[in-house]
């Protein structure tokens, strides 16, 4: 871990990452890719020590309210968060200044902030986005070794459901020849149905590989799935998009199941739900004074 001071924290679309790098150890992580120019070991997490100060300055000056989001490049609930509490502080600022808040995570540590999520959702809006990759707990512990297991994440989704916090699931990545089966898909979808998630984000039944994360992924395939790397090379070469041979069949099953249970699956609709932020005109007007 090392600390840095940054010049900015919030993107034009209200996204932010309070940390850079991750300790979850997911073998497929795209954030390891060289195109992101992380100039330190990925596990040597960069802590943006002035991030909360910059966020408050930004929220003070913003006239238009909306959803603040985090978790696109680094899971906000890495173990360091339990010490620094930057995510909780950011959520509190969102509450104080009348913004909504959403995050993408694979950790049940999000439950630490359940009280604040409820408080925030009553005032503006809160949405928790949870990634689910594999129904098989054994495979989960291999491909996502240092993070909450699928069952632990699902238990968190159940608790969020009972607390009245809307949730969305990111389904993926689907790793060809590893978890690209009907059994895996239906296991995850059954969890989503029981958790009453509002929507599921699934771009395709596959994954992405590019310089940086490809090498790390192949190294782990050699370690845990002997012979699998050669199968990937034969099948996909150096392709960026690595789609499961079962893509079409699995996507049909995914869409049919979501439709049958009233779960949003159209990407435009799901992202629209996540980013939705409607403030009553009188509340918006009062916030300007």
Q: What is the pLDDT of residue 279?
A: 54
pLDDT in tens, 35-73: 887 877 888 899 999 999 999 999 999 989 999 999 988
Proportion of the chain in helix, strand, coil states, percent, rounded to 5: 45, 15, 40
- What average pLDDT does the structure give for the chain? 93
Is the bond leading into 268 cis (omega within 30 degrees of zero)?
no
The Cα–Cα gap between 112 and 154 comes to 15
The Cα–Cα gap between 237 and 181 comes to 22
Mean pLDDT of the 168-179 span: 97
Mean pLDDT of the 176-197 span: 98
CA 149 to chain centroid: 15
Could you tell me what percent of the chain has a pLDDT over 70?
96
Angle subtended at Cα 31 by Cα 93 and Cα 130, rounded to the nearest 5 degrees: 55
pLDDT in tens, 221-253: 999 999 999 999 999 999 999 999 999 999 999
pLDDT in tens, 85-99: 999 999 999 999 999
Q: What is the pLDDT of residue 63?
A: 86
Q: What is the pLDDT of residue 73?
A: 84
pLDDT in tens, 256-268: 999 999 999 999 9
Are the C-beta atoms of 270 and 259 separated by less than 8 Å?
no
Residues contacting 227, CB < 8 A, separation 6+: none
Mean pLDDT of the 173-195 span: 98
Q: What is the pLDDT of residue 41?
A: 84
pLDDT in tens, 99-137: 999 999 999 999 999 999 999 999 999 999 999 999 999
Tokens of 119: 């408080």
Q: Is 115 helix (H, G, I), strand (E, B) or coil?
A: helix
Is the bond leading into 173 cis (omega within 30 degrees of zero)?
yes
**Beta carbons within 10 angstroms of residue 75's beta carbon:** 27
Q: Is 24 helix (H, G, I), strand (E, B) or coil?
A: coil
b/e per residue, 121-138, with b = 16+ CB within 10 A?
beebbbbbbbbbbbbbee
The Cα–Cα gap between 168 and 65 comes to 22
- Residue 282: pLDDT band (50, 70, 90) is very low
The Cα–Cα gap between 249 and 143 comes to 24
Tokens of 98: 């009348």
Angle subtended at Cα 18 by Cα 14 and Cα 24, rounded to the nearest 5 degrees: 120
Q: What is the pLDDT of residue 283?
A: 41
- Residue 34: pLDDT band (50, 70, 90) is confident
- Phi and psi at 210, nearest 5°, equal -145, 175
Residues 2-287: name the CATH superfamily. Aldolase class I (3.20.20.70)
Q: Any bridge partners for residue 242, and if so which? A: 207
- Domain borders along the chain are 2-287
The Cα–Cα gap between 137 and 97 comes to 41
Question: What spatial distance separates the first Cα and last Cα of the chain, rounded to whole Å?
Answer: 41
Per DSSP, helices labelled H in 144-210 are 150-162, 182-195
Residues contacting 24, CB < 8 A, separation 6+: 75, 78, 106, 107, 144, 145, 146, 147
The Cα–Cα gap between 70 and 67 comes to 10
Sign of the Cα pseudo-torsion (104, 131, 145, 190, in order): positive
Q: Any bridge partners for residue 104, and if so which? A: 129
């Amino acid at each position: 871990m090392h600390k840095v001071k940054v010049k900015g924290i919030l993107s034009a679309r209200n996204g932010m990452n309070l940390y850079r790098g991750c300790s979850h150890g997911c073998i497929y992580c795209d954030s390891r890719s060289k195109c992101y120019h992380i100039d330190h070991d990925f596990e040597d997490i960069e802590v943006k020590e002035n991030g909360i100060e910059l966020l408050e300055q930004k929220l003070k000056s913003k006239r238009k309210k909306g959803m603040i989001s985090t978790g696109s490049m680094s899971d906000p609930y890495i173990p360091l968060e339990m010490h620094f509490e930057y995510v909780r502080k950011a959520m509190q600022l969102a509450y104080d200044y009348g913004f909504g808040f959403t995050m993408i995570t694979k950790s049940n540590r999000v439950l630490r902030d359940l009280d604040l999520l409820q408080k925030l959702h009553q005032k503006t809006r809160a949405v928790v986005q949870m990634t689910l990759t594999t129904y098989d707990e054994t495979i989960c512990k291999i491909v996502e070794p240092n993070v909450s297991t699928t069952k632990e994440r699902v238990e968190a989704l159940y608790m969020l459901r009972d607390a009245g916090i809307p949730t969305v699931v990111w389904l993926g990545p689907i790793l060809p020849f590893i978890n690209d089966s009907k059994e895996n898909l239906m296991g995850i979808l059954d969890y989503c149905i029981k958790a009453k998630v509002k929507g599921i984000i699934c771009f395709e039944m596959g994954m992405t590989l590019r310089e940086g994360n490809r090498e790390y992924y192949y190294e782990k395939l050699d370690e845990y799935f002997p012979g699998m790397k050669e199968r990937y090379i034969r099948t996909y070469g150096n392709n960026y998009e690595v789609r499961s041979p079962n893509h079409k069949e699995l996507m049909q099953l995914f869409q049919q199941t979501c439709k049958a249970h009233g779960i949003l699956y159209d990407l435009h609709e799901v992202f629209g739900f996540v980013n939705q932020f409607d403030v009553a005109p009188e509340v918006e007007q009062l916030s300007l004074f």
